[in-house]
Amino acid sequence: MAQERAKMPVVNIKVERLKRLVPGVKVNKVLNAMPFVALDIEGIDNNIIRVEYNPNRPDFSSDYGIVRALRGLLGIETGAPKFKLAGKSGLEIEVDQAVKRIRPYVAGLVARNGKLNDETIKQLISMQEDLHNGLGRRRKKASIGIHNLDGIKFPVTYKTVSGDYTFEPLGESSNQSIDRILKESETGKQYGRILKGLGRYPVIVDSAGATISFPPIINGNVTKVDKNCRNLFVEVTATDQKAAEDALAIIAVTLYDAGFEIRTVTIDSGKKVETPQMKPKVISADIGYVNSILGMAFDAKQAIDYLKKSRLDAKASGKKIICTVPRYRIDINHPIDIAEEVAIGYGIFNLEPTFPASPTAGQKNLLSTYFCAIREALTGLGMIEALSFSLTSREVQYNAFGITGKDALAVDGSKSLEHEILRDSLIPALLQSLSRNVHEEYPQRLFEIGKTFHKNGALTERWNVGGVITHVDAGYTEIRSVMQALIKSCFGRDAITKAAQNTMFMEGRSAEIVIDGMLMGTIGEVTPLALENFKLRMPVAAFEIDLSHIIKDK
């Protein structure tokens, strides 16, 4: 009950299509290889394989990307995948300066002389939506339009218009105003919040006046793609330039694998640039570092061979491996990622666990002894242990309580809004767990033992224990009795509570926890603001204790 599993994206692959894309290899062998590139087979129904992948590999958002990795692991095709830009298309997107304050970035490509069928179109649509939801943060950060190139007269212009501007949206047979699309269409209702309050709206129009796209909401009907299309135009608009370029790189290599010739498009926003920019990046890793991470003794040549099976190029330079990473592999940024790719190319299934050499048998760490005692005490009091990440979001940790969190310990360049800061309290995560279980039976009682992180000049880490109780009559008295029973049974000490104000708790319903004259925690009834933001239906009482001093003193 403590944590519900986040839903991972899924790609549907037809068995016959898999046979064609991985020729000469039995389907069972291909399926058996999937888990070793971090793919899970969710099920097989009616000759369709449902493959679940981790969002950190957006290149797996189509069967082309999945097959690209599997061909390497199976030794069919190694090294960086073949990809070559066919040059410039000579086509241009002119950027009006008015879009700068709304959705400032745009990138594009042209894919020519390809052939589409129903299944390839399905794969492209599925990839597009997965990229929207992952890299694009549900279209807010980036959104993608795929168009029939032959229905467009270049140059096209990326500009803004008012809400009464009309065009024929995809799937419709008559013109509609932008205001109406936002109010009445399914995608308008779902994503219109992204443009709320802007007053002006981004559109891409061609030189004949046809509206190609109203990003991030819907394409125009004039460029609808079907299996008769031979030439495509892809545009990505974004609030983040890197997100736009990353998404376009993945689309470019996918369309190339699908048989298209990829050409660049000129973006003219005062300064002209060509997109997509497909230059690979180079990352160095010391072979000693790789071996220390994996517990192996590979030489440089072996490591290079394994990297090639992971669809990367590499060469040796002394004790270093110089790895060339294709542009679409946006998940590889550090030598630790190179070590992981070596392990994948070697074959995770080949790794054998070994016990570290030790002259004596191990014994339980003192911390573990106390944590086991705390667990035993709290489970005996009817509570269930929850586990959560040390990295969390500002929304959960601070905003839900009306706290600014200006001194939060933030991750530099976080890839996820859900994992952008280090927590300084366990209570928000416990409330989030309760919010995911509102349909479960009440009362609900959860606890967690975990690290919190604080910046007092230097960064400090503390082990805390926190607990929450929720039901129709949950209150201060009940949670205090649980907390005091815990301290007495585990540490033989008395916990005293002194009235104090805390932004997480209701005024007059909160206190400090004092043990042996030292302030060691907080306790109280959670504020109505937090209950509303976490969508909790019952009152919640909570406590949290810093274990650092009490364990140190034992």
Burial class (CB in 10 A: 0-12, 13-18, 19+), 112: middle
Quote the tokens at residue 504: 């997480």
Quick check: 356 pLDDT over 90? no
Query: What is the structure's pLDDT at 385?
Result: 94
> What is the residue-averaged pLDDT of the chain?
92
Q: What is the mean pLDDT of residues 453-472?
A: 89
Q: Token pair for residue 242?
A: 């890197």
Phi, psi of 506 (to 5 degrees): -70, 145
Residue 1 pLDDT: 33
pLDDT per residue over 290-323, tens digit each?
Answer: 999 999 999 999 999 999 999 999 999 999 999 9
Domain residue spans of the chain: 10-73, 88-275, 281-350, 366-552
N-term to C-term CA, the chain: 33
**Secondary structure class of 390 (helix, strand, coil):** coil
pLDDT grade, residue 252 (50/70/90)? very high
Distance of alpha carbon 72 from alpha carbon 388, whole angstroms? 35
Q: Domain 366-552 adopts which CATH fold?
A: BirA Bifunctional Protein; domain 2 (3.30.930)
Between residues 364 and 499, which one has the greater pLDDT? Answer: 499
What does the pLDDT read at residue 331? 95
The DSSP 8-state label assigned to residue 369 in this structure reads H
Q: What secondary structure letter does DSSP report for 169?
A: B
Specify the pLDDT at position 504: 92
* 281-350 CATH, one of 3.30.56.10, 3.30.530.20, 3.40.50.720, 1.10.3720.10: 3.30.56.10
The pLDDT, as a whole number, for residue 5 is 42
Q: What sign does the CA torsion over 379, 381, 384, 390 have? A: negative
pLDDT tens digits, one per residue of 422-453: 899 999 999 999 999 888 899 999 999 999 99
Query: Following DSSP, what letter does each residue of 316-384 receive, concatenated?
Result: EETTEEEEEE-TT-TT--SHHHHHHHHHHHH-GGG----PPP-SS-----HHHHHHHHHHHHHHHTT-E
pLDDT in tens, 42-80: 999 889 999 999 999 999 999 999 999 999 999 999 999
pLDDT interval class at 115 (50, 70, 90) = very high
pLDDT over threshold 70, residue 198: yes
pLDDT value of position 415: 67
For domain 88-275, which architecture applies? 3-Layer(bba) Sandwich (3.50)
In terms of CATH architecture, what is 10-73? 2-Layer Sandwich (3.30)
Strands 88-95 and 156-161 turn out to be parallel
User: 492-524: per-residue pLDDT in tens?
Assistant: 888 999 999 999 999 999 999 999 889 999 999
What element of type H or E holds 21?
Answer: helix 15-21
Asked whether the domain spanning 281-350 has the same topology as the one spanning 10-73, the reply is yes
- The pLDDT confidence band at residue 121, using thresholds 50, 70 and 90, is very high
Give 311 or 549, the one with higher predicted confidence. Answer: 311
d(CA 390, CA 423): 6
